[in-house]
Structure 1
Amino acid sequence: MRRWTILVFVLALVAAACGGGGGGETTTTKAPEATTTTAGGGGGGEGTTTTAGGGGEMEMKTDFGVDVESKTIKIGMLPDLTGIFSSLVTDTTDAQKVYWDRVNANGGIDGWKVELVIEDTNYNVEQHLEKYEKIRNEVLFISTATGSPTNVAALPKYIEDQMVFSPLSFYSGWAIPDFDQNLALEKYTNYCIEAINVMS
């Protein structure tokens, strides 16, 4: 599943980062017996994670927004850049672009570069679904997706793809694991908690 692909990839980056910056010695760990896992990807595609064995070095292959040869990670964004929330969302989108530009300019994540795939949704449900369909097989996860109605409409596709996403939304449903299958990464205090805070 894409969610496990993200976890394995992040752990691999952490392990690689922890192994750098030491003395002049280099240690190569031999891989165990080869193991291959295949899971369904978005739009009927397939994602494959492979650990090469037979005495060679560890190798990972995936088609979920990670290009091993160029060491590039593609992260999707579905912001409202021309709709009613564009004045806010344009700034937060630019902030992410500046952040990743700086990370890439300073060597990336242990040599891996991050490329943002940005599609304007205009805070429109149909356009959101259309733009998600366009990038669903290109990205590892969605770092920003504007709106509650747009993301709720796209949720069945997110679940089908096991696409981790971070909604720019205050909808209380994202706090319910059975609703979003633990795919939504909440960044804001939702409406229910805000109401509780007001009443307490």
Structure 2
Amino acid sequence: MNIRIETERLILRPFTEDDVDRLFLLDSNPEVMKYVGQKPLTKIEQSAEVIKMIQKQYLENGIGRLAVIEKESNLLIGWSFLKYLTEEINGFKNVYDLGYRFLPEFWGKGYATESAKASLAYGFNKMNLDKICAHAHSENLASNHTLRKLGFVEKGSFEEPDGTCIWYEKSRMLKNGSQK
């Protein structure tokens, strides 16, 4: 997969094996994993497997989550982008899902919004998608706020083992400003 997106402060690019240490820092953090429905990782080898899984998605689906690099520090600070859901979530399958996850020291800086806007632009303008979905744990107030700010519309909720999640959808905007 050869997608590279630059925003004002970020670079979104495919994961490589070299990202394993920073990804482990992210996915082993209990604060980061609080609303994800998975326990924090405990071994760096688990992060290596996550990278292999994401790279497999690149090959099979032509798309997957991208590493987010902060330009100022040149550090991997999280991930963002679209994923093609091949397993059913909330009754939906074979849809494009926006997601993001960042290290706590980078929360509250607008990086989720900045990377998500770039991801949405790619999905709607380059991939010509009509609709992009997203979901967030109902107690994850920051993520729900970000999705609403991005123009996602709440379409219902569903239960996961760790609690209630809210399902969102965003449709392509037509030239007249209305949604498709």
TM-score normalised by the chain length of structure 1: 0.29
Larger Rg computed on CA atoms: 1
Which has the larger share of strand?
2
TM-score normalised by the chain length of structure 2: 0.31
